[in-house]
Amino acid sequence: MTKLLGRILGTSFAALALAASPAAATTIIYSLSMTGAQEVPTAGDPDGTGLGTLTINDTSGLISWSLTYANIVAPSAMHIHGPAAPVGVAAGVFVGLGVATSGGPGTLISSITTSAANALAINTTPANFYVNIHNATYPGGAIRGQLGTVVPEPGTLALLALGLFGLVGAGRQRS
């Protein structure tokens, strides 16, 4: 009886330990479309643009980015702002990203590590954060892009394509 009770309690504690263990890391890739018109409270560079991705892992705190920009003076700083910064609202710097790049002119490609808490905050409510690039001409921000648009994982796209293929095939069989 004692052995049976010990096994039951041991199994229960093991189940509780697994249930309480942290979930697997969440890595999310955000698509960025940056313009000067998105900057607030004053507009940034009227013809400045930027496109790319920002990837955030909320367990390791790794943030990496690959951006291209055009029609702006050389960047002097780049930040993630938030956490209470939906579209049209300005906020303080949340994570400094820097402007070092492993790419050529017109690119910002690099990574940094922030705290897991910062990364989790961004991944939990991405629409309340934005990225902007500053320069000498627009020290308050030349271009800005809101987070929130998630790039679908390749597996998701493959499943979607397979499902559409199946629907088309089923429709042809009925005809």
Residue 20 lies in a domain: no
pLDDT band at 75 (very low <50, low <70, confident <90, very high): very high
42 Cα distance to chain centroid: 25
Residue 169 lies in a domain: no
pLDDT tens-digit map of 31-74: 999 999 999 999 999 999 999 999 999 999 999 999 999 999 99
Residue 105 lies in a domain: yes
- Structural domain of 85: 25-152
> Average pLDDT for residues 73-92, to the nearest whole number?
95
The answer to whether residues 40 and 90 touch, using CB atoms and an 8 Å cutoff, is: yes
pLDDT tens-digit map of 10-35: 433 333 333 333 455 689 999 999 99
**Confidence (pTM):** 0.74
Q: Which residue has the tokens 């961004």?
A: 122
CATH number for the domain harbouring residue 70: 2.60.40
